Structure 1
Amino acid sequence: MSIKGMSQGLLRWVSDDQVRRVLTWDLLLPAVRQVLQAFTLGPDHCDGAVQPLRSRIKVNQHNGILLTMPGMMAGSSMTVKILTAYPDNSAKGLPSHSSTILHMDPKTGLIEAILEGNAITEMRTAAASAVATLEIMSARDDQRRGKDLVVAVLGAGAQAYSHARVMAHILKTDKVVVWARRTEAADQFCQTLQAEGIPAMVAATVQEAVVDADVINCCTATSTPLLQAAWIKPMAHINSVGAPHPDHQELEEELIRNAIVYTDSYNSAKNESGDVIKSGAAVYAEIGEILLQRKPVLTDRITIFKSLGLAVEDTVAAQLVCELLKAEENQ
């Protein structure tokens, strides 16, 4: 679908359904891997990425937040994502999160496409967790390679769904264990996964979900610690994508302090992650540093990938979607 542009020509309008139709894990994972490296290379590198910290406006009277996330990839693509988070919307039958991405030509600054941003946000976040998981798990000792892994997913929302799907795509697993605050939501979530051929089962408690897990995906809206150190296997890996605010926590402080912590962005982790800020945990590396082989992968204890989300992940995903749709039209 196209709409009349602000200055000339037509703007492309891209729906979430179109994104889900054309964007596959096999296409997205290499793109996100590249952008994690580009972010670490920085704005002065010819293959680097540019993005500031996201801006936030609290809408206190309605318990909401407005965020903007601009990013640019080496002069080749430029986006701004506008995101709102209104947790009380769920009780009204409305989405708690909503986002729109403006995709621009960096040569002219003109908007080329407007994309619904929910599907891209869900998929690129899960893709970053998948890239980190693959890099860290591949460095584990030989006795675990080739074995079926147990995957835990905490949450039953959009991020939980994307994480369950991508983990089943990249890992050899015979069990995906799901916990959610509402049992009926967990049941429905598992039924959806099972219909896609993913071996999912419901756990009654967080502890039950994670106690045997090799890979744990925390995808909740909690503001207080949910995951405790005593429940986690010594060599487990955790992807934590919740608690993206300085006053929120998803992980028990003892857990993150004693783990090897990776992140997508040092700057975001120290300024936006309540898990890092409140615990005083040291962040060992950006995952981009590992991918660029600037630092070795450390795996001698529990590992955590603390993901805050990068605007340039939206940039590469939006560019990829637009290219795929154009290719379809030219067939």
Structure 2
Amino acid sequence: MAGELLFFSADDVRAVLIYDDLIPAMETALARFSDREKGGVVQPVRSTTRVNKYNGVFLVMPAYSEKDNALATKVVSFYPENKAVPTHHALIVLLEPTTGVPKAVMDGEIITAMRTAAASAAVTKGDVSCLQHWSLSFQPRSLKKLSNPYLAPPYPDPSYIGNWCSGPLLTTIGLGVQGCSLILTTAGMAVQRLPFYPATAKLGVQGNCLILTTGWVFGAPSQILTAVGLGVQGFIQILIAMGLGVQDLLSTVGALCKPSPHILAIVGAGVQGHSHYHSLSSIYNFTEVRIASRTLESAEKLVTQVPNGRVCDSVEEAVKGADIIVMATSAMKPLLKADWVKAGTHINAVGACKADWQELDPDLVRSSVLVVDSREAAMVESGDVILSKAEIFAEAGELFQGWKKPQTDQTTIFKSLGIGVEDTVAAKLVYDKILQQRPK
């Protein structure tokens, strides 16, 4: 075998993989997957071998992403009746795409847990979340030091305007300094005037984010509120008018959650319950987190990590009134009833991963806006989709591409089975970061 074959343990992966990197990586991966050949992703539906004697499943998940220059396969086992050991075990083999030579074998359990939760977070985050990435929020995690190289001193208090047009903005819409300057200039605010922004514009407050209420964007406050406040479509139209394509908005248009969610409910306090709490809390500040699980022990273990968290005695108690619900169970029969879910709630459903398993009430699935990671996989592997006979509104990647408009006024469901390109892109990200940190 040519070259050194590296091995990365779970600790190695955990040390470098963070949601700030992984969430946008999953957005891009899902968008490219849904773009099929143009997206440069080749990925069959996973191969499944059933181990019926022990109620186990063994899966093989290969994928190639041309634009990421990434080729890998994951082997994963799922034994839902495990008690003393995790229900999932996984390894990923990363290969050199140009030669097929294996480059690294790495633990796949951390990647599986985190990439699934990162994909859910990417699909969940609403329009106000986009603004938080523009640092228009006063939430502590958004307050970073002003570091724009093109702004001259004197600087204002950095905790006030944060980095309004630096890292988060550039990362969110995929633009360099010129693109950022174009946005500010088109908004009627010269780049050199940005430090004096608080003194030159009136501000209104909606939810956690600042909403501009002056009329210097296309001359009408109503257009500002449409573009900046709650409407993705208006935001896209403004950028198109500025000569920017929807492709520049991969990180801002795939949103199923209403702005400013306050209550998170997690049903299933296993590995995915933990990872979803951490991924979603990286983009939202929840005032209350409710946890329901098959065992009190697992629920109490998770709640120790959760500020404002509490253990609930039932699924119904946990989900009633929640803004976001995470279903991360090994249920074979529906646990989440339609009558318990308020209108406009967003649900991330990552359990019930067999064709004859369900964790969602079929009436709930049929009456909601249903989004999946892969239509093909959902119609073969998801009991929640197959048995409910619900219509699939879109793949997540179609939302990120801007081909389908998110429906945040209705109850929404992201039914996620996990797809190979997510593992491949995440493994390449881990490999690159570890090699970057090694001594030259």
Q: TM-score, normalization: structure 1?
A: 0.91
Larger radius of gyration: 2
What SS is found at the alignment partner of 1:153? strand
1:14 aligns to 2:8 (yes or no): yes
User: Which residue among 66, 72, 81 is the counterpart of 2:74?
Assistant: 81
4+ residue stretches of structure 1 with deviation over 2 A? Answer: 135-142, 144-148
1:313 match: 422
Contact 2:48 2:59 in 1 (8 A): yes
CA change 1:40–1:135 in 2 (3 A) is farther
Secondary structure of the residue aligned to 2:34 is helix
2:106 paired residue among 115, 118, 142: 115
CA distance in 2, matches of 1:59, 1:189: 30
Return the letter of the residue paired with 1:126.
A
Any idea what SS the aligned residue of 2:105 has? strand
* Matching of residues 190-205 of structure 1 within 5 Å: 190-191=303-304, 193-194=305-306, 198-205=307-314
Higher strand fraction (1 or 2): 1
Q: In the aligned structure 2, how far is the partner of 1:295 from the partner of 1:146?
A: 19
Q: How many residues align?
A: 317
Q: In the alignment, does 2:297 pair up with 1:188?
A: no
Secondary structure in structure 2 of the residue aligned to 1:10: coil
Matched, 1:287 2:396: yes
**Does residue 279 of structure 2 align to residue 170 of structure 1?**
no
CA–CA separation in structure 2 for the residues paired with 1:146 and 1:236: 11
* C-alpha distance in structure 2 between counterparts of 1:60 and 1:103, whole Å: 29
Q: Distance between the aligned counterparts of 1:72 and 1:170, measured in 2?
A: 29
Residues 68-107 of structure 1 aligned to structure 2 (within 5 Å): 68-74=60-66, 76-90=69-83, 93-107=84-98
Alpha carbons 1:178, 1:201 under 8 Å: kept: yes
Q: Which residue of 2 aligns with 1:224?
A: 333
1:31 corresponds, among 22, 25, 33, to 25
Match of 2:379 among 255, 265, 270: 270
Per-residue deviation at 1:102? 0.4
How far the C-alpha of 1:212 sits from its partner, in A, is 1.5
Q: Distance in 2 between matches of 1:121 and 1:73?
A: 18
| Distance (Å, rounded) in 2 between the aligned partners of 1:207 and 1:41 | 38
Give the Cα separation in 2 of the matches to 1:264 and 1:136: 20
Conservation of the 8 A alpha-carbon contact between 2:126 and 2:258? no
Q: 1:296 to 1:313 in 2, by over 3 A?
A: same
Is contact 1:146–1:172 with CA below 8 Å preserved after alignment? Answer: no
Amino acid at match of 2:421: V
Q: Which residue of 1 aligns with 2:413?
A: 304
Q: Is the 8 A contact 1:40 1:48 kept in 2?
A: no
Describe the superposition over 1:225-263 as per-residue Cα deviations: whole angstroms up to 9, x where unpaired: 010000001110000000111000010010000000011
What is the Cα deviation at residue 138 of structure 1? 5.9
Hey, what's the Cα distance between the residues in 1 that align with 2:401 and 2:267? 30
Which residue is equivalent to 2:46? 54
Checking the alignment, whether the CA contact within 8 Å between 1:263 and 1:307 is kept in structure 2 is: yes
- CA shift for structure 1 position 135: 4.5
Corresponding residue of 2:155? none
Unpaired segments ≥5 residues, structure 2 = 131-225, 231-256
Distance in 2 between the 1:187 and 1:89 partners? 19
Considering only aligned residues, what root-mean-square deviation do their CA atoms show, in Å? 2.0
**How many Å apart are 1:112 and its aligned residue?**
0.2
Shift of 1:94: 2.4
Q: Residue type matched to 1:117 in 2?
A: G
Distance verdict in 2 for CA 1:213–1:250, change over 3 Å: same
Query: Does the CA-based 8 Å contact 2:258-2:408 persist in structure 1?
Result: no
Q: 1:226-241 maps to which residues of 2 (within 5 A)?
A: 226-241=335-350
* Sequence identity percentage: 39
Instruction: Give 3-state SS (helix, strand or coil) of 1:172's partner.
Output: coil
Structure 1 SS opposite 2:344: coil
Q: TM-score when scaled to structure 2?
A: 0.69
SS at match of 2:21: helix
Quote the residue 1:4 is aligned against.
Answer: none
Query: Which amino acid counterpart does residue 168 of structure 1 have in structure 2?
Result: S
Displacement after TM superposition at 1:65 (Å): 1.1
Maintained 8 Å contact 1:179/1:202: yes
Deviation per CA, 1:122-181: give whole Å up to 9, x if none: 000000000000157869985x97645100111111110000111111113111111001
1:108 corresponds to which letter in structure 2? T
